Amino acid sequence: MEKTPQALKGKKIILGITGGIAAYKMHAVVRHLKKLGAEIQIIFSPCAEEFVTKLSFSTMSERPVYSEFYSSEDGSWNNHVELGLWADLLLIAPCTANTLAKMAHGMCDNLLLAVYLSAKCPVMIAPAMDLDMYAHPGTQRNLSNLESFGNQIIPVGDGALASGLSGKGRLAEEEVIMEYVNTSLSSKNEFKGKNVLITAGPTHEPLDPVRFIGNRSSGKMGYALADKAAQMGAMVTLISGPTNLVPQHPNIKLINVETAQEMYDVALKNFSSQDLVIAAAAVADYRPKNIASQKIKKNIENGDSMQIELIKNPDILQEMGKRKTDQILVGFALETTQGLKYAKEKLSKKNADVIVLNTLEDEGAGFGTDTNKIYIITEKDQLALPLMPKVHVAQEILTFCHHNFLK
C-alpha cells in the first residue's frame, strides 16, 4: 500500500479566506494540506461567504470556520490572541485589495485582521484581484509595506481574470501556494539551541547633521536570513543598519545601528557566544574623517568642487575571522566583475568558512531586489544556485551551513 507523505504532520495553519472569486480554489489547497497532515483553522473575512460556504470548508478542514469575534451559537468568544499564538503559519489566500490595504494600515475591524495583528508566526499573503487594482500604486505600496513588516507575498499569477481581462492579478496556482507553505513549514528545527548572529542592511556614515554616505542595501537579504534562521530554531541576534524592515519572528533580537563603527562594536561584543555568524550587511569601507557639527554650506570660495577626506572603517568580518574559535563564519561578497576571483580572495583574507557571492553581472541579484542569485564558495566547494526569492536563498545558505558545519 502506498504511504501518504505526512510532511506537515503536527503543523498548525490558519487559513484566512477573503471575499474574492478565487476563494473556491482554496478547496484544493485545504485538501492538499490536510493530506500532508496539517491542522487547519479557517477564518473568513466578512465578505468571504458571498463567494464560498462555511459548510464546505468546515467539512474539509474538520473544524468550524470562524468569521466573528463571538460565536452566534453559544455566545463564546473566538479569542484572536490565542488563535494568533496557536498557528505555525498564517496564510491569507486569496487576499483582496481591501484586506491587503487594511493589513498594511493596521486596521482591525474583523476577526481575521485581529488574528493577523496578533500573530507571532510567519505570515504569507497570496493576493488576488483585477489587473488594474493590482497595478494601482496604492496596492503596490500596500504590498511593499506588508513586505517591510516581514510578511511574505506569494506572487500573483498572470493570465485570464474573472473580469474577462487578462494580466497580472490572478491568485497564484495551487502548486505555487503549496511550494511556499512547504518551504516555510518543512524546517526541522535544525538550529535548535544554536545562536546565530546576522548583520544586515547598509551603514550610514555621517558627513554633517543632514548628510551621510550610504549604499543601496535594503536589508532584505539579511532579514530573510534572520527570519529563516529563527524559523529553523535559532536564537538570532540581528544587527541592522537603517532599513524599513521589521523582523517577524519572536526569537530575533534586533539591534539597530547606523555606522560601520557601531555595527563593529555591537557585533564584536556579541561574537563569542555565537555558533554561526552571517555578515550580509553592506558595510561602508570608508567614512568621512571629520563630521561637521553644522550643515556644510555651499562655499563660493571652494568653487565647483569640494574635497572630503575619508578614513578606513574597521572590517567586522575580518576581525571576527581573527578572533574566531569554533564559530562558523559566513561572509558575503558583492562584486561587479570577476566575482569568483574576488570572492575566493575574501574567503582566505577574512578567514571565513563560506563566502556567498552575489554579482551585479547577474540580473535580479544583489541590492534592493526580492530575488538573488548566489554562488556558495568554500575552500572545497563552489555551488552556483539559480535565481530565486531571497527567502529561498536564505534557506539554501542555512541548510548548507547546517549540513557542512553544524550537523
In 3D space, the residue among 360, 277, 354, 350 whose CA is nearest the CA of residue 315 turns out to be: 350
* Pairwise CA distance, residues 76 & 70, whole Å: 6
Residue 57 sits in the site that holds ligand PMT (CB under 6 A): no
Question: Applying CB under 6 A, which of residues 346, 373, 392, 402 lies at the interface with ligand PMT?
Answer: 346
Does residue 328 interact with ligand PMT by CB under 6 A?
Answer: no
x-or-dash string of contact with ligand PMT, 367-386, rule CB under 6 A: xx------------------
Q: Which of 11, 25, 204, 220 binds ligand PMT (CB under 6 A)?
A: 220
CB of 211 to ligand PMT, least distance (A): 20
Of 35 and 216, the one with the shorter C-beta distance to ligand PMT is 216
> Applying CB under 6 A, does 287 fall inside the site for ligand PMT?
no
**Smallest gap from residue 307 Cβ to ligand PMT (A):** 23
CA dihedral 54, 57, 62, 67 (to 10 degrees): -40
Q: Which is nearer to ligand PMT, 40 or 224 (by Cβ)?
A: 224
Stretch that binds ligand PMT, among 36-44, 85-93, 188-196, 276-284 (CB under 6 A): 276-284
Q: Is 221 in the site for ligand PMT (CB under 6 A)?
A: yes
Q: Looking at 174-261, which runs of residues are DSSP E strands?
A: 195-200, 205-206, 212-213, 235-240, 252-256
Instruction: List binders of ligand PMT among 222-251 (CB under 6 A).
Output: 222
When binding is defined by CB under 6 A, the residue of 43, 65, 113, 280 that contacts ligand PMT is 280
Q: Can you list the alpha helix ranges (DSSP code H) found in 26-173?
A: 26-35, 54-61, 80-86, 97-104, 111-118, 131-135, 137-148
Helix (H, G, I), strand (E, B) or coil at 380: coil
- Give the nearer residue to ligand PMT in terms of CB position, either 179 or 319: 319
Cell 555565537: give the residue: 274
Q: How deeply is 356 buried, as exposed, middle or buried, from its count of CB atoms within 10 A (0-12, 13-18, 19+)?
A: buried
Q: Report, in Å, the least distance between residue 89 CB and ligand PMT.
A: 23
15 versus 281: smaller Cβ distance to ligand PMT:
281
Of 19, 122, 150, 219, the one binding ligand PMT (CB under 6 A) is 219
In terms of Cβ atoms closer than 10 Å to its own Cβ (0-12, 13-18, 19+), residue 169 is buried
Q: Which of residues 63-92 bind ligand PMT (CB under 6 A)?
A: none
Task: Report in angstroms how near the CB of residue 266 gets to ligand PMT at its nearest.
Answer: 12
How far apart CA 213 and CA 296 sit, in angstroms, is: 14
Per CB under 6 A, which of residues 307..326 are in contact with ligand PMT?
Answer: 313, 315-317
The closest alpha carbon to 402, from 275, 302, 287, 296, belongs to 275
Task: Give yes or no for residue 110 binding ligand PMT (CB under 6 A).
Answer: no
- CA-based radius of gyration for the chain: 24
Distances (CA, A) of 278 to 108, 236, 267: 37, 11, 11
Least distance to ligand PMT from the beta carbon of 193, Å?
25
**Residue 217 in the binding site for ligand PMT (CB under 6 A):** yes
Which of 177, 181, 226, 333 is the binder for ligand PMT (CB under 6 A)?
A: 333
According to CB under 6 A, which one of 29, 282, 329, 376 is a site residue for ligand PMT?
282
Find the farthest-apart pair of alpha carbons in the chain and give their distance in angstroms, rounded.
Answer: 88
Residue 318's Cβ-side half-sphere holds a number of Cα atoms within 13 Å equal to 10
- Of 285 and 381, CB closest to ligand PMT: 285
Active site residue 290: no
Handedness of CA 390, 396, 398, 401 (dihedral sign): negative
Q: Tell me the site size for ligand PMT, rule CB under 6 A.
A: 28
- 3-class DSSP assignment, residue 146: helix
Does residue 18 touch ligand PMT according to CB under 6 A? Answer: no
How far apart (Å, rounded) are the C-alpha atoms in residues 260 and 208?
16
Contact by Cβ (8 Å): 225, 278: yes
Which of these is catalytic: 79, 215, 270, 351? 215
CB of 207 to ligand PMT, least distance (A): 18
Q: Does 354 contact ligand PMT by CB under 6 A?
A: no
If one asks whether residue 366 binds ligand PMT (CB under 6 A), the answer comes out as yes
For residue 333, the cross-strand partners are: 357
Active-site annotation, residues: 215
The residues binding ligand PMT (CB under 6 A) are 199, 201, 217-222, 260, 279-283, 285, 313, 315-317, 331-334, 346, 358, 366-368
